[in-house]
Amino acid sequence: PGHRQEGPTPGQSQPPAALLGTPGAQGAARPQGVSGAVETHSGVRHPPFSCSPLASQACSAPAPDLGALKRKAGRAAPRPAVHAVLRSLLLYATQRQAGAGRAGGREAAARCPPRPQDGLQGPTRFQLLRARFTGTGREPLKRTREVGRQDQQQPGRGVVAATVHKLLEKTSGAAGQPGPGQEPPCGAQPGRGRPAGRSRVRDILRTLLAAEKPAAPGMPPGGPGASSRAPPRAAGRAGSVLSRLRDKFQQGCLRSEAGVLPLRPEGRKQRPTPRRALLRPVPRMLCTASRASACVCPPPARLLACVAEPPPGAVGPGAAGLGGVQPGHTASLVSQGRPVRVCKARRLRLRRLRRLFLRVPGDTHQKSVKRYIRKGVPLEHRARVWLGVSGAQAQMDRNPGYYQRLLQGESDGSLEEAIWTDMNRTFPDNERFRRGADPCLQRPLFNVLAAYGRHNRDVGYCQGMNFIAGYLLLVTADEEEAFWLLDALVGQILPDYYGPAMLGLRTDQEVLGQLVRTKLPAVAALLDGHGVLWALVVSRWFICLFVDTLPVETVLRVWDCLFSEGSKIIFRVALTLIKQHQASILEASSLPDICEKFRQITRGSFAMECHTFMRKIFSEPGSLPTSSIRRLRARCRAQLLAPQ
């Protein structure tokens, strides 16, 4: 804000008549308004442009004969080598002269006006950046842009002037000069002592100031038309030079991508493209892509378009009657058809995911697929991905019509009765599983379970499969797909979990006990001390695969990995939950306490933030080789079978 005032106010405070007198006598071609601005801005006591004509002549003296050189170059056009040499010589000479001229005074610059192609150096990118980030700060610059939109010029111009001033101070400081406000450098200025480059920058800036000035203070108040440009009468020779300089400077800004000084509205319009490229590097975008689809941002469900826990109070009807038996996470899992917010990054990621699957449809267990799946599969692609990675799709393709035949096959009374018994007890707080709902998922659920019972007669129906099949139906929305996914789970991924003896399940509970004993001995000691069997605290985790234990979104993320990596994931999740809450569990001093702790650890923010949760399950439990799991399973199975 200070800088904004710094520009225009001194100019306005000066009586214009007094200003016009002195410089007008010195520089004949100098437009009065411009010179006035210079005086005002650099301080009346030491106008930097008021060097004597003598000095300006001295400045232009060493300049070579540019006209002759140009003519020579033109003649040498047929001979490329000579032409190139002469051109570069010409360029050098022009640059040098331009530099000297600008260092010496405006007359020289006017005599040899710089052309766009002759390499006039704008302020360096570094200087611009510094102007942007130091001193004047970002605030006024931002405001320039904002204000500039409403009001064409005035406030923005002030800030520009202020920024240029700042730059001027810096350059002069760097060149070992006294600040423009302290001592009139008039006499010393023509000297050759300072480096040409720096002085040139300074002078460009000054010229710029001079060009900008009349628009600010010399302008009649409330004249927006006049504010856009210097007065027409000033557009003489020097005026054109100034405008060219200004253009040059603007181009320099654009080129440098710093985008600091929005001098003209047109300039602003040109800017967005390079700026966007600068602000959004590609690698970042990829990173965002993966994170976006893995729903790292709270609320997690929004980006992923998956269902998440409803906010308290927003639970669907029926959940109120739950009576606190189970955490009714599934109450909200009815989101098919909900509008999906698709961001660009996510679309990008999806495309890559799809490409991955298209490229190698058979070998889906490659590393990159695993990596992608660990980051989370979007809900609308879950069915496809699960079918693909679990081999269910292959089974389905190999057995067309099999599911329909199963449905029409002979019925088994006791099997169906057992399934019917659970129909009203599967996600009773989810409206789509309620009797009379439209569409009601009870019939599809029954079909899938009955078909599976007929397909796998050894297993038939086991309580717990109803919850799994229910989730599969919600995700796939297709009976046959749900059936084959259930087959992949029950038949391959979790062998013997649901058989009559439930041996696989009991084995894995014991294996978890062994793993905890190795990795978290304190917890194992606590449970042993209170005689808690692992089956008591974790059986639901294993049987229902965390359904209604963990929040919906987390369960689905766990299942992503379960389908792609197998049952080891269950141990990872269980170990992570226990390890993460070890301190809390160890506070328990009785069996009910322990059970309550194990209930608590599946709730709360840790389980809710599925992205962090999924990262943790692969880091927290540490190494968990399949071979050691296999060994442990063999040992535990032998132990379980031994007493019988």
Q: How many residues of this chain interact with another protein, rule: CB under 8 A?
A: 46
Closer CB to another protein, 212 or 510, in the complex: 510
Token couple for 583? 């301190």
Least distance (Å) between residue 572 CB and another protein: 21
Q: Which one of 22, 60, 326, 399 is in contact with another protein (CB under 8 A)?
A: 326
Token couple for 228? 């856009």
Region near another protein per CB under 8 A, out of 111-119, 152-160, 291-299, 585-593: 585-593
| Residue environment code for 570-603, b if the CB has 16+ CB neighbours within 10 A, otherwise e | bbbbbbbbbbbbeeebeebeeeeebeebbeebbe
Identify the three-state secondary structure at position 3.
helix
Residue 464 interacts with another protein (CB under 8 A)?
A: yes
Q: Which one of 506, 557, 597, 637 is in contact with another protein (CB under 8 A)?
A: 506
Q: Which one of 134, 590, 600, 626 is in contact with another protein (CB under 8 A)?
A: 590
What is the rounded CA–CA span in Å between residue 289 and residue 293?
6
Region near another protein per CB under 8 A, out of 20-28, 135-143, 417-425, 622-630: 417-425
What is the rounded CA–CA span in Å between residue 358 and residue 18?
80
What is the rounded CA–CA span in Å between residue 179 and residue 183?
7
Q: Which one of 530, 568, 603, 633 is in contact with another protein (CB under 8 A)?
A: 530
Residue 394 interacts with another protein (CB under 8 A)?
A: no
If phi > 0 it is left, if psi is from -120 to 50 it is alpha, else beta; for residue 313 that is: left
Task: State which amino acid sits at residue 388.
Answer: G
Residue 429 interacts with another protein (CB under 8 A)?
A: yes
Least distance (Å) between residue 422 CB and another protein: 5
Closer CB to another protein, 195 or 500, in the complex: 500
Residue 181 interacts with another protein (CB under 8 A)?
A: no
What is the rounded CA–CA span in Å between residue 538 and residue 248?
73
Q: Are 610 and 295 in contact (CB under 8 A)?
A: yes
CA distances, 558 to each of 46, 178, 304, 574, 630 (Å): 75, 69, 15, 11, 21
What is residue 488's DSSP assignment?
I
Least distance (Å) between residue 546 CB and another protein: 12
Q: Are 31 and 238 in contact (CB under 8 A)?
A: yes
What is the rounded CA–CA span in Å between residue 359 and residue 362?
9
Closer CB to another protein, 313 or 531, in the complex: 531
Q: Which one of 40, 50, 97, 426 is in contact with another protein (CB under 8 A)?
A: 426
Region near another protein per CB under 8 A, out of 283-291, 374-382, 418-426, 473-481: 418-426
Q: Which residues contact 134 (CB under 8 A, 6 or more apart)?
A: none
Quick note: the x/- pattern for another protein over 279-318, rule CB under 8 A, is: ---------------------------------------x
Residue 457 interacts with another protein (CB under 8 A)?
A: no
Phi, then psi, of 433 in degrees rounded to 5 = -100, 10
By CB under 8 A, the residues from 540 to 579 that bind another protein are 540, 543-544, 548
Q: Are 595 and 532 in contact (CB under 8 A)?
A: yes
Residue 451 interacts with another protein (CB under 8 A)?
A: no
CA distances, 28 to each of 71, 185, 388 (Å): 31, 22, 84
Region near another protein per CB under 8 A, out of 292-300, 304-312, 322-330, 512-520: 322-330
Give me the torsion for CA of 126, 172, 248, 96, rounded to 10°.
-110
Least distance (Å) between residue 483 CB and another protein: 20
Q: Are 216 and 157 in contact (CB under 8 A)?
A: yes
Closer CB to another protein, 175 or 535, in the complex: 535
Closer CB to another protein, 394 or 440, in the complex: 440
Question: Which residue has 């209170």 as its token pair?
Answer: 530
Least distance (Å) between residue 548 CB and another protein: 7
Closer CB to another protein, 43 or 499, in the complex: 499
Q: At what angle do helices 154-174 and 138-150 cross, to 10 degrees?
A: 150
What is the rounded CA–CA span in Å between residue 625 and residue 635?
16
Q: Which one of 348, 394, 535, 624 is in contact with another protein (CB under 8 A)?
A: 535
Q: At what angle do helices 534-544 and 568-580 cross, to 10 degrees?
A: 130
Closer CB to another protein, 148 or 428, in the complex: 428
Region near another protein per CB under 8 A, out of 81-89, 256-264, 583-591, 614-622: 583-591
Residue 453 interacts with another protein (CB under 8 A)?
A: no
Least distance (Å) between residue 543 CB and another protein: 5
Residue 428 interacts with another protein (CB under 8 A)?
A: yes
- Greatest Cα-to-Cα distance within the chain, rounded to the nearest angstrom: 118
Q: Which one of 215, 305, 345, 418 is in contact with another protein (CB under 8 A)?
A: 418
Closer CB to another protein, 372 or 467, in the complex: 467
Comparing C-alpha atoms, which of 206, 207, 233, 198 is closest to residue 218?
233
Closer CB to another protein, 49 or 427, in the complex: 427
Comparing C-alpha atoms, which of 378, 377, 329, 276 is closest to residue 604?
329
Least distance (Å) between residue 346 CB and another protein: 34
Residue 525 interacts with another protein (CB under 8 A)?
A: no
Residue 427 interacts with another protein (CB under 8 A)?
A: yes
Residues contributing to the site for another protein (CB under 8 A): 318, 321-326, 417-418, 421-422, 424-429, 462-464, 466-467, 498-502, 506, 528-533, 535-536, 539-540, 543-544, 548, 589-592, 595
